[in-house]
């Protein structure tokens, strides 16, 4: 099943990074639609992405932890490489204890996978995808939209890697806002 992105025409990132992108974009800050609105919705979404078994139950604490990681990762990605030490420590704490173990594949690939299930397993899998992506040249293209009302995760497919907006719509909206501001000043 393709990873669903809320209500936005954002092109998915390549490989497994699209799963992290879909996770970060389970909320649309503009329309306030959130796919992870309850523990049941969290279970359904993680199961649809293959990040949790269909029988796994989640509670309110699992949901709160997941949503805090989602927002924390957004801020961390946006402020990278100058994220605050406090944010980094908070994320570290939220993702503890999560254990990852090596998994060898017949094609020679070595992957880190979570040892447990539940919300820790799902967050572990997402962390492992982020870690693996940092060693690929795709990493600098994985960004958070600079429109402060949007903050969606997007993959910058532009040749010169200079895109700041998830979609042209966000770019146009910010340009219009800036030009209105300039007009008011002059």
Which residue ranges make up the site for Zn ion (CB under 5 A)?
145, 147, 150, 152, 166, 170
Least spacing, CB of residue 45 vs Zn ion, in Å: 21
The residue among 128 and 170 lying less far from Zn ion, judged by its C-beta, is: 170
Least spacing, CB of residue 3 vs Zn ion, in Å: 17
β partners of residue 112: 102
> How far apart, in Å, do the first and last CA atoms of the chain sit?
52
- Round to whole Å and give the CA distance between 165 and 154: 8
Least spacing, CB of residue 178 vs Zn ion, in Å: 15
- Round to whole Å and give the CA distance between 14 and 22: 12
CA 54 to chain centre: 22
- Round to whole Å and give the CA distance between 110 and 106: 9
The residue among 127 and 152 lying less far from Zn ion, judged by its C-beta, is: 152
User: How far is residue 4 from each of residues 42, 99, 105, measured CA to CA in Å?
Assistant: 13, 27, 27
Least spacing, CB of residue 151 vs Zn ion, in Å: 7
DSSP track, 34-47: ES--SHHHHHHHHH
Beta carbons within 10 angstroms of residue 142's beta carbon? 22
Least spacing, CB of residue 12 vs Zn ion, in Å: 15
């Amino acid at each position: 099943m393709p990873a669903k992105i809320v209500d936005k025409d954002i092109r998915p990132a390549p490989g497994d990074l699209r799963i992290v992108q879909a996770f970060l974009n389970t909320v649309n800050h503009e329309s306030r639609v959130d796919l992870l609105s309850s523990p049941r919705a969290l279970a359904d979404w993680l199961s649809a992405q293959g990040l949790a078994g269909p029988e796994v139950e989640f509670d309110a604490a699992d949901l709160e932890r997941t949503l805090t990681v989602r927002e924390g990762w957004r801020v961390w990605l946006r402020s990278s490489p100058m994220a605050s030490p406090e944010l980094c420590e908070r994320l570290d704490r939220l993702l503890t204890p999560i254990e990852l173990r090596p998994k060898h594949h017949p094609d020679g690939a070595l992957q880190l996978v979570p040892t447990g299930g539940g919300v820790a397993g799902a967050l572990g899998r997402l962390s492992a995808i982020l870690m693996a992506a940092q060693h690929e040249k795709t990493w600098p293209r994985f960004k958070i939209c600079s429109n402060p009302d949007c903050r969606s995760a997007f993959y910058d497919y532009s040749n010169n890697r200079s895109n700041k907006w998830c979609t042209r719509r966000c770019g146009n909206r910010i340009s219009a806002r800036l030009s209105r501001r300039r007009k008011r000043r002059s």
